[in-house]
Amino acid sequence: MTKLTKKQRAVIREKFGGKCAYCGCELPERWHADHVVPVVRKLKAVKTGHHTYKLVSTGEMHYPENDKLENMYPACVECNLYKHAASVECFRKMIVDGFRGAVNRSQSLRCAQRFGMLTVTPAADADVIFWFEKYQAEKESAR
Ligand SMILES: [Zn+2]
């Protein structure tokens, strides 16, 4: 899809009440239009030094059929960058596993846990409920 028009962005922004489809924060001025079902951009390695490379987007997509307005959700920059090219279910798992891993890897967090400053409740993927799911459930029950 070519660059979104202002009107298209305004439509996407209002899909879930002007909030991030995932965390539900009020969308700041700068936000992203996320492909819910990922398009997965093609990457190429560009040499940056003698033995160093960085990956940059070629502009092409592995799944261009997903590049349509119905498949775009408004997302805050943080959620969109963290979700990257993941599906909704993968993103849900990333949040749970990421938190679990952060506690396991952090001596400070484990110490805070031992001293009762931090309570970590075991979370399951089902505990992560995205804003768009709550929003859609609210709309359904209002009918
Ligand atoms: Zn967010």
Q: If you measure from the C-alpha of residue 45 to the centroid of ligand 1, how many angstroms do you get, rounded to a whole number?
A: 29
Q: If you measure from the C-alpha of residue 3 to the centroid of ligand 1, how many angstroms do you get, rounded to a whole number?
A: 22
120-137 pLDDT, tens digit per residue, is 887 788 889 999 999 999
Q: If you measure from the C-alpha of residue 130 to the centroid of ligand 1, how many angstroms do you get, rounded to a whole number?
A: 9
46 versus 125: the higher-pLDDT residue is 46
User: What percent of the chain clears pLDDT 70, i.e. is strictly above it?
Assistant: 99
Mean pLDDT of the chain: 93
Q: If you measure from the C-alpha of residue 133 to the centroid of ligand 1, how many angstroms do you get, rounded to a whole number?
A: 13
Q: Is the pLDDT of residue 83 over 80?
A: yes
Residue 2: CB atoms within 10 Å = 5
Sequence-ordered list of residues with C-beta below 8 angstroms from that of 129, at least 6 positions apart, any chain: none
